[in-house]
Chains A and B, each alone.
Chain A
Amino acid sequence: MSAAIELANVCADFGSFRAVDHVNVTIKAGEFFSFLGPSGCGKTTILRMVSGFIDPSEGEITIGGQNMRGIRPNKRPTALIFQNLALFPLMPVWENISFGLEVRGVDKQTRRAKAEELLRLVDLPGSADKSIAQLSGGQKQRVAIARALAVEPKVMLLDEPLSALDLKLRQHMRAELRAIQKRTNVTFIYITHDQGEALAMSDRVGVMSHGKLQQVATPQEIYNRPANGFVASFVGENNIFTGQIETRNGTTATFRTGCGTFRALLGPGVTDTTPSKLYVRPEQARLVDAPPAGANNIPVEVADVAFEGNFINIQVRNGDGRALVIEARNDGSTAVPPPGSRFNMVFAPEQALILADEAAPAQGRAA
């Protein structure tokens, strides 16, 4: 069972500070949706509004078609997994998991059976009588998931639940969470500042900054077609060039920068007067000896090379000493350019984006 969630014009104010600013998004039933953004961008506030700990200052949240205003967390069809998990350390594992059922007056035998069943689902059989302190980080994670699933929520809310785990475990739990979501078909709303997590797990991602939703799209679109400069620079690496549009030609334009004038694709909503910059991903740029005629080209000198195994990270500088990055895939025979050698950095116009800067954050309460 799952439910769709709709956020309509949702704002959250703390005093004169607007933490969430007119967020509009519909999350489909059964979807794995992530809110991605730096700390303080308002994503946790959104989660707390959906779970019911705070009500929106403006706008409405509906879950499964029902307006949630004034409904306390204990009456909502949501289950929240806290960043620190918030397991009850004085209860054994099975009582933790079945707490939500205990609250609903389910008898002890049924509760115990349900807890055992959920422990099998999260791949932790035989741990029912352990104390929370006996569990490892990953096991606690699973218990927290089981505890949330026990109440059969229509919506599962996860507040950076993997951030405390080490890298290996985190990667493993990503796949695990995704699998559990597919198995249970519950709507997942996942909060994270880790772009890798958001891209790898989600059906769709909402990128947030300063309380505003910057873009809602599939992971591929977020990465390949960022809506604005903030999304482009927050998700993945970029060579960023300041400058202005010189001439427009349909969906493309020429953009004059301190490193030269380049042809590039126009991002959404970019006009001649919008403050904008040029973004080129390191893996979209190449180093060549002689640039093809008319290509976007910057003469550079190799400053430093980091061989990472599957790719090679090349730091270069142009004539003015401006630092740029190029990432080359290693196919086994890719040459590693020696520092000091001179090349031309080229990139295709269709892989360079002119993107509008993020709109300035609202100062205080919007009128």
Chain B
Amino acid sequence: MRDLIRRYGAPLAGVFVVLTAFWLLVLVILPYLYLFENSFRPYLPVVDIGGPKDVYSLNNYLTFFESPIHIYVFFVTIIYSSVVTALCFAIAYPLAYYLSKVATSAVVPTLFLLLLIPLWVSEILRSFAWFIILALKGPLNYGLMGLGIIDQPVRWMSGFRSIIIGLVYTYVLFMLFPVYNAVQSLDTNQIEAAEDLGSPWWRTHWRVILPHAKPGIASGAVTVFMLSAGSILVPTLLASTTSRWFTEIIQQWMFESQDWNTGSAYAFLLMLICTVFVTLVMRVFRVRLSDIAK
């Protein structure tokens, strides 16, 4: 704080502090508290709000546990979000390794630009683009058939396929950048030392590069997982007849049933269980929160 004042002067430092506090308090904490409080109150006609029926209970939360279909959708969301996370890692890790340790410094900026350009297009347009690409008579099937890889068009928009493709496409960069930073920070001499000691490439990755990149991978994985589980746009636009995402249920409670109370309860359950899940996975992979913050 004293540092901040010395560097920017009291007025500017004050502006920073007030803005940060405003963002945190008014835009993050207060809305959450409001929803949290609401999630314990019953959904009532306006006249009854504040009346004798307006008492705190866990009924909204119990609604979830009493509806098997919601529980099912919830777990499906968690599982497919994990699949999306794993796929993002499988794509991002080799790419991150290539960008940080193989590509020459002359081409890296160009490659990054190419990776970033899609981010400039809004998510909704990108999802619609995938909707077109993945259509039964869309360019992807046309291309694959033209190349002779398939002879029957694939129904991409069935099950969770299209959602997974869309989510991977949307969030892969959130995996790429932390993993890139982590691999980048590894001293190249360590990779060479491993090779010099006789290590084949896969063992060098397993014993030297991956352990070093673990915090970056964890950070990317948490981000991608949380964003996927909480995504609403992609699962709605690229949905098939059989796919449902938990966020869609929350949306239904809030906007179709106008029941913000139960919707809030569902939203908090999603947040809570995702946090627990992430914590457990971190425990399994022996990653500490402080590693991620690095």
Bound CA span A72–B192, Å: 11
Bound CA span A53–B207, Å: 20
Taking a contact as CB atoms closer than 8 A, the residue among A72, A84, A151 that contacts B197 in the complex is A151
Please report which residues of chain A, range 103-134, place their CB below 8 angstroms from some CB of chain B when the two chains form the complex.
103-104
Q: Give B contacts to A, CB under 8 Å.
A: 187, 189-190, 192-200, 203, 207-208, 211-212
For the A-B complex with A83-B189, A99-B194 known, give 13 more contacts whose Cβ atoms are closer than 8 Å: A72-B195, A73-B195, A73-B196, A75-B198, A79-B196, A80-B193, A80-B196, A82-B193, A86-B190, A88-B208, A100-B197, A100-B198, A148-B197
- Please tell me if the beta carbons of B198 and A103 are within 8 angstroms of each other in the complex: yes
Please give the distance in Å from B46's CB to the nearest CB on chain A. 60
Which of chain B's residues have a CB closer than 8 A to the CB of A100? 197-199
Bound CA span A152–B189, Å: 20
- Please tell me if the beta carbons of B199 and A103 are within 8 angstroms of each other in the complex: yes
- Please tell me if the beta carbons of A90 and B200 are within 8 angstroms of each other in the complex: no
Bound CA span A75–B199, Å: 9
Q: Does A78 contact B (CB under 8 A)?
A: yes
- Please tell me if the beta carbons of B192 and A73 are within 8 angstroms of each other in the complex: yes
Bound CA span A104–B207, Å: 14
Bound CA span A247–B194, Å: 60
Taking a contact as CB atoms closer than 8 A, the residue among A79, A84, A103, A151 that contacts B203 in the complex is A103
- Please tell me if the beta carbons of A151 and B198 are within 8 angstroms of each other in the complex: yes
Taking a contact as CB atoms closer than 8 A, the residue among A72, A75, A86, A102 that contacts B193 in the complex is A86
Q: Give A contacts to B, CB under 8 Å.
A: 51-53, 72-75, 78-80, 82-84, 86-88, 90-91, 99-100, 102-104, 147-148, 151
- Please tell me if the beta carbons of A86 and B192 are within 8 angstroms of each other in the complex: yes
Bound CA span A103–B198, Å: 6
Taking a contact as CB atoms closer than 8 A, the residue among B189, B199, B211, B212 that contacts A99 in the complex is B199
Q: In chain B, what residue has the closest Cβ to A98? A: B197
Which of chain A's residues have a CB closer than 8 A to the CB of B197? 74, 79, 99-100, 103, 147-148, 151
Please give the distance in Å from A248's CB to the nearest CB on chain B. 51
- Please tell me if the beta carbons of B208 and A74 are within 8 angstroms of each other in the complex: no
Which of chain B's residues have a CB closer than 8 A to the CB of A72? 195
Which of chain B's residues have a CB closer than 8 A to the CB of A51? 196
Please give the distance in Å from B177's CB to the nearest CB on chain A. 22
Which of chain B's residues have a CB closer than 8 A to the CB of A86? 187, 189-190, 192-193
Bound CA span A151–B199, Å: 11
Bound CA span A108–B211, Å: 20
Bound CA span A102–B189, Å: 19
Please give the distance in Å from A323's CB to the nearest CB on chain B. 43
Bound CA span A87–B212, Å: 13
Taking a contact as CB atoms closer than 8 A, the residue among A78, A82, A104 that contacts B189 in the complex is A82
Which of chain A's residues have a CB closer than 8 A to the CB of B207? 88, 91, 99, 102
The 3 tightest CB contacts between A and B, nearest first, are A86-B189, A100-B197, A86-B193
Which of chain A's residues have a CB closer than 8 A to the CB of B192? 53, 73, 80, 82, 86
5 contacts between A and B (CB under 8 A): A80-B193, A82-B193, A88-B194, A100-B197, A103-B203
- Please tell me if the beta carbons of B196 and A74 are within 8 angstroms of each other in the complex: yes
- Asked, given contacts A99-B207, A103-B203, whether A74 binds B198 with beta carbons under 8 Å apart, the answer is yes
- Please tell me if the beta carbons of B199 and A74 are within 8 angstroms of each other in the complex: yes
Bound CA span A44–B200, Å: 24
Please give the distance in Å from B235's CB to the nearest CB on chain A. 38
- Please tell me if the beta carbons of B200 and A74 are within 8 angstroms of each other in the complex: yes
The interface centre, meaning the residue of A72, A73, A78, A84 with most chain B CB atoms within 10 A of its CB, is A73
Please give the distance in Å from B110's CB to the nearest CB on chain A. 20
Q: In chain A, what residue has the closest Cβ to B201? A: A74
Which of chain A's residues have a CB closer than 8 A to the CB of B200? 74, 103
Which of chain B's residues have a CB closer than 8 A to the CB of A88? 190, 193-194, 207-208
Which of chain B's residues have a CB closer than 8 A to the CB of A90? 211-212
Please give the distance in Å from A84's CB to the nearest CB on chain B. 6
Q: In chain B, what residue has the closest Cβ to A144? A: B193
Bound CA span A220–B190, Å: 37
Q: In chain B, what residue has the closest Cβ to A52? A: B196
Please give the distance in Å from B206's CB to the nearest CB on chain A. 11
Which of chain B's residues have a CB closer than 8 A to the CB of A75? 198
Which of chain B's residues have a CB closer than 8 A to the CB of A91? 207
Bound CA span A73–B201, Å: 11
Bound CA span A91–B193, Å: 14
Please give the distance in Å from B153's CB to the nearest CB on chain A. 45
Q: In chain A, what residue has the closest Cβ to B197? A: A100
Please give the distance in Å from A102's CB to the nearest CB on chain B. 8
Which of chain B's residues have a CB closer than 8 A to the CB of A79? 196-197
Bound CA span A104–B192, Å: 17
Please give the distance in Å from A108's CB to the nearest CB on chain B. 14
Bound CA span A49–B162, Å: 50
Bound CA span A170–B208, Å: 29
The interface centre, meaning the residue of B194, B198, B211 with most chain A CB atoms within 10 A of its CB, is B198
Please give the distance in Å from A104's CB to the nearest CB on chain B. 6
Please give the distance in Å from B216's CB to the nearest CB on chain A. 14
Which of chain A's residues have a CB closer than 8 A to the CB of B187? 84, 86
The interface centre, meaning the residue of B193, B195, B203, B212 with most chain A CB atoms within 10 A of its CB, is B193
Please give the distance in Å from A80's CB to the nearest CB on chain B. 5
Bound CA span A80–B193, Å: 7
Which of chain B's residues have a CB closer than 8 A to the CB of A83? 189
Bound CA span A100–B189, Å: 15
Bound CA span A52–B189, Å: 14
